[in-house]
Amino acid sequence: MRVLALDSGSSSLKYALFDMPAERRIDAATLEAANVGSQRSAVQDALAKMRAQHRLPDAIGHRLVFGGLHHTKPERVGRALMEDLERLCAIDPVHMPAALATMRAAQEAVPEAAAVACFDSAFHCDMPEVAHRYPLPSSIDPAIRRYGYHGLSYEYVVATLGLRGRAIIAHLGNGASMAATRDGRPVDTTMGFTPLGGMMMGTRPGDLDPGVLVYLLRNVAYTPAMLSKLLHEESGLRGVSGSTADMRELLLQAPHDTMAQAAIDLFVYDAAKQLGGLVAVLGGVETLVFTGGIGEHAWQIRKSICDMCAYLGVVVDPVRNEQHAAVISQEDSRVVVRVVKTDESLMIARHVVAMLGDTSP
């Protein structure tokens, strides 16, 4: 079975074509897609290329950031699901419309291919109820709760390492979050109702006193649209540095740019603080895993976070860390520290095969 994994971000489209169940990657690319219209064009261009090469997919797996209360595992795409997902756009107006546009464009281009929706929030659905709840009145819409995201990445890491015991996985990239697991099962996570919550990210602030938003609305004449832009595009590393959300650029600028250094320092500080909260929930930690673009490639950030966690018995080997080894902790470290290259596209393809079987639909 040829399986195409599609991952539509707010400004890009990632695709990967696999020969399954051999898990052989046939083709992969990241295409710029600045808006919903260009998402459709990017999908059409990618599938036109595959058609010309006589390797159209038998099935397509779609990454959906948000599944809401009711979509807690991969599902076949049909009219009822699409209508339900449309309603969820009100909660995540940044990612969901692009994902739905991608799904429709793929269906139009290859109507004979079976389609499966894979939800990033699904991994966290089995967290304890106390981890899902907000301290709000019970009369509030029950859909307002903590969901958690980056679930496909966490699933991949758990499966790859066969994680046992108490572990914390740090998915650090332009979007960043952490998850606590016990024997591979979700216990808690840093993100909440939307992907805006939790730790500081590339352009998002993470957890923010809601009074700040009330103040901006009431006293600085912010509109909801202005708030959305502030929170999604203008905060985090970009906001603090005043220049970029790219950690690679910030690390280069930091020696001669105090604001770049301030952004890095705040990112590390916030990450270590969030990690400490998850350690408290787990009652300790035995394994710490770094993944995502920053987690996999920025050894300086890993070192700084681990140095702040020395009280846990984390001891990083500087040579292993700078070489991005699979295990970067020293032998005498009480916490094993690992680096894993995540593969959300492969996780999507695996879900498609599990749902449809290992033969072409």
* 345 assigned to some structural domain: no
Tell me which DSSP letter residue 316 carries. B
* 292 assigned to some structural domain: yes
- Beta carbons of 141 and 263 less than 8 angstroms apart: no
Q: Are residues 177 and 86 in the same domain?
A: no
Question: For position 361, what pLDDT does the model report?
Answer: 42
* 358 assigned to some structural domain: no
Burial of 152 (0-12, 13-18, 19+ CB in 10 A): buried
Backbone angles phi, psi at 346, to 5 degrees: -65, -35
What is the tally of structural domains in the chain?
A: 2
Range of the domain at 215: 142-149+162-339
Please, what are the averages of pLDDT over each run of 10 residues along the chain (361 residues)? 90 91 94 76 91 94 94 94 91 87 93 96 97 96 95 98 97 97 98 96 96 96 95 97 97 98 98 98 98 98 98 98 98 98 97 79 42
Question: For position 31, what pLDDT does the model report?
Answer: 86
Q: Are residues 169 and 305 in the same domain?
A: yes
Q: Are residues 177 and 96 in the same domain?
A: no
E strands present in the chain:
2-8, 12-19, 24-32, 59-64, 75-76, 114-119, 166-172, 176-182, 185-189, 287-291, 336-339
* 136 assigned to some structural domain: no
Q: Are residues 107 and 167 in the same domain?
A: no
- Beta carbons of 286 and 167 less than 8 angstroms apart: yes
Q: Are residues 83 and 200 in the same domain?
A: no
Q: Are residues 282 and 166 in the same domain?
A: yes
- Please give the Cα distance from 64 to 77 (Å, whole number): 11
- Beta carbons of 195 and 228 less than 8 angstroms apart: no
* 30 assigned to some structural domain: yes
- Beta carbons of 288 and 335 less than 8 angstroms apart: yes
Question: For position 223, what pLDDT does the model report?
Answer: 96
Catalytic site residue from 120, 188, 270, 343: 120
- Please give the Cα distance from 70 to 62 (Å, whole number): 17
Q: Are residues 315 and 241 in the same domain?
A: yes
Question: For position 10, what pLDDT does the model report?
Answer: 67
Question: For position 40, what pLDDT does the model report?
Answer: 85
Q: Are residues 329 and 198 in the same domain?
A: yes
Question: For position 34, what pLDDT does the model report?
Answer: 65
* 25 assigned to some structural domain: yes
Which residues 6+ apart lie within 8 Å of 80 measured at CB? none
Asked if 120 is an active-site residue, the reply is yes
Q: DSSP states of 124-183 as a string?
A: GGGS-HHHH--SS-TTS-TT-S-----HHHHHHHHHHHT--SEEEEEEESSSEEEEEEET
Beta bridge partners of 316: 329
* 359 assigned to some structural domain: no
Determine the distance from the C-alpha atom of residue 324 to the mean position of all C-alpha atoms in its chain, rounded to a whole number. 21
* 111 assigned to some structural domain: yes
Tell me which DSSP letter residue 306 carries. H
